[in-house]
Amino acid sequence: MKIIGIDAVRGERVIIEFGSVIQGVTELIDLISGEPDYVAPGFIDLQVNGYAGVDYNSPTTPHEEIGRSLRVQFACGTTRLLPTVITGTYEGMRGSLKNLYEAKQAIPEGLAIEGFHVEGPHISAEEGPRGAHPVQCVRKPDVDEYKGWQQVTDGLVKLVTISPEWPEAPAYIEALVRDGVVVAIGHTGANREQIQAAVSAGATLSTHLGNGAHSVMSRHPNYLWEQMAEDRLAADFIVDGIHIGEAFLKVALRAKGIERSILVTDASAPAGAVPGRYKLADQEVDLTEDDRVVLAGQSRLAGSALKMHKAVENVMRMGGVSLAEAVTMATRNAARVGRISGRMRG
């Protein structure tokens, strides 16, 4: 089979030949009538807590429901992802990872699951930086706990988000990096010295920069400026028009540069579903009529309802970037920083 389109990154007209996989992409020399659609590699989402009413943070979520949620994401252009397990009890997190891994093996859509992102539980316990993560489950970094995650996923935990404010953080980060795991800074109240120590230990990413923060903080120094100024850190952003404003997004993109900027959805179960009440691990969350995902009966954000193709549109509109740059943030950059096999060059 063949399709003709305009390469969204290079701007060239191309012919894509494919069967069960893409067999070739060649530049189109001959003139054709009409204007083809844009084509791009499938989007990569490094942070998805759930989708289409399906919660990835439950050890009992049916595998067929996980498959259905993946098909809904395919319709939004996402073809590779890291299902994300947030802060919970040791048994709950390990059980959720085990269930996701077993689903990956059991369902045809499981090929889209590149691995898993563990966001917590080694984050800040403070109000604000902790976000919607349950405070009673926050705990210090523990390499043995990490090894338990890898045991039930056959080593497929690919990304871990941690706050560097824990004294144990540098040694923990070094241990994970030795295993080839990407370590991100997030949900943190860390100071400059702690952030620098984490980066020196091997942290390479800031998780949803601009979120998981105090509502009031020092003008400077603070952990947002420190992460934006650190050139060794890439950053991912939730560009839904809710989590971060236009001014912050523009400044952060200028600080990181397109080459170190990534789009994520941070989607939770209500994404791709109708307004109502859903589950996120042991907590209830609401999808409001204006597309906010909040802890039930509260205003605190608990993930997003963002679709990746809308993130691409939003970053062009809010951040003033080109289509090629937006697609790069949702594909090549995510693949490179997230170490997505077979996709790190495009």
Q: What is the pLDDT of residues 242-296, one digit of tens each?
A: 999 999 999 999 999 999 999 999 999 999 999 999 999 889 999 999 999 999 9
Give the residue carrying structure tokens 């939004």: 76
Mean residue pLDDT across the chain: 95
Here the tokens at position 252 are: 């952060």
Model pLDDT, residue 344 = 56
Q: Degrees (nearest 5) of the Cα angle 73, 57, 305? A: 40
Here the tokens at position 253 are: 């993109």
Residues labelled catalytic: 266
Contact 115, 157 (CB under 8 A): yes
Model pLDDT, residue 41 = 92
Q: What pLDDT band is residue 31 in, cutting at 50, 70 and 90? A: low
Here the tokens at position 201 are: 């230990």
Kindly state which CATH superfamily the domain 41-338 is placed in.
Metal-dependent hydrolases (3.20.20.140)
- pLDDT (mean) for 52-59: 97
Here the tokens at position 207 are: 């998780």
For CATH 3.20.20.140, list the domain ranges present in the chain.
41-338
Phi, psi of 4 (to 5 degrees): -115, 135
Q: Tell whether the model's pLDDT for residue 21 goes beyond 90.
A: no
Phi, psi of 47 (to 5 degrees): -150, 100
d(CA 171, CA 198): 9
Here the tokens at position 329 are: 């943030």
